[in-house]
Structure 1
């Protein structure tokens, strides 16, 4: 095989391997929630819930106020709902995915792009 052919085939093989690995990681599922814990309070004026955030292994990492972003997906009991957050959610478990921005207040505040209430 000539050097030119070999130099063309090698990048092509790498491309196929990369695409194959990318598809496999998507099949394994989405990323873990950024916030996970029990909803302990509700602030009606701001439409926020306070979640006692538990990291993996049930380590308490402190409370965080969470509100829904404009296009957030809210799933309650396995069904996607169009209602906003309310006081009936206090005491329930929640998993939250955020856009990466957390306000440096105490407790911290963030907006959810997806929230699943169990």
Structure 2
């Protein structure tokens, strides 16, 4: 008969591993909320077919880094004037300022294109 102690030891470690994974994910989520936006600037255009807005991206210090097309990822958070909304992007946003956090790649087209995981429109 095998010794049951190794199984008990393995099972007692499992809750500790789950706790550490949970804490790690929570810290990452908080860091992402505190992080500076990847894109910041004025919305200058809207493209209906792809549901994208064109943002004239300004880096820190108001340095112009060029326009970028932004669409919303599947589970993106869209906040307009402090309220989280479920609406999609549209032409009424042109002329407003936006801050965007991206979670994926930026297509090397001109202008570049990417998807937002969070967009705040002022």
Per the normalisation by structure 2, the TM-score is 0.73
Q: Can you list the C-alpha shifts for 1:74-96, whole angstroms capped at 9, x where unaligned? A: 00000000000000000000000
Displacement of 1:100 in angstroms is: 3.5
Is the aligned partner of 1:46 residue 2:50? yes
**Structure with more strand by fraction:** 1
Q: Can you list the C-alpha shifts for 1:4-43, whole angstroms capped at 9, x where unaligned? A: xxxxxxxxxxxxxxxxxxx7xx58x610000000000000
Partner of 1:33: 37
Q: Can you list the C-alpha shifts for 1:63-116, whole angstroms capped at 9, x where unaligned? A: 000000000000000000000000000000000000131000000000000000
Runs of 4+ in 1 over 2 A off after TM superposition: none
Structure 2: gaps (5+ residues): 1-26
| Alignment of structure 1 residues 1-118 onto 2, 5 Å | 30-118=34-122
| In structure 2, distance between residues paired with 1:63 and 1:116 | 17
Number of positions where the alignment pairs a residue of Structure 1 with one of Structure 2: 94
- Match of 1:45, SS state, is coil
